[in-house]
Amino acid sequence: MTEQQNTQNVRLSRTMSAVDFAGYGVHEIAYVKPIPDDEGGITFAIHAADGTPLTVLPDREIAFAVVRQNDLEPVSAH
């Protein structure tokens, strides 16, 4: 990232309200997060960019595929 891009990003982050920031990417990004299931295994929760839970799936690759099928970009969250 260039210094100019970094400066623009800092300015943008200072001018965005909490509500604006929460909605950033809501129509482009979905987060995929591993979560424990009831049987001691791991499932994968999909959340909209604003944190809204969408679904839980048994496999990371399936979760990423479902996100892409809905014209969103999957991002791993921890």
Distance, in Å, from the CA atom of 25 to the CA atom of 72, rounded to the nearest integer, reads 9
Residue 2 identity (one-letter amino acid): T
pTM exceeds 0.85, yes or no:
no
**Other beta carbons within 10 Å of 36:** 9
Q: HSE (CB half, 13 Å, CA atoms) of 22?
A: 6
Please name the helix (run of DSSP H) or strand (run of DSSP E) that holds residue 42, with its range, or none. strand 42-48
Q: HSE (CB half, 13 Å, CA atoms) of 29?
A: 12
In tens digits, the chain (78 residues) has pLDDT values of 555 444 444 455 566 665 665 555 556 889 999 999 999 999 999 999 888 899 999 999 999 999 999 999 999 987
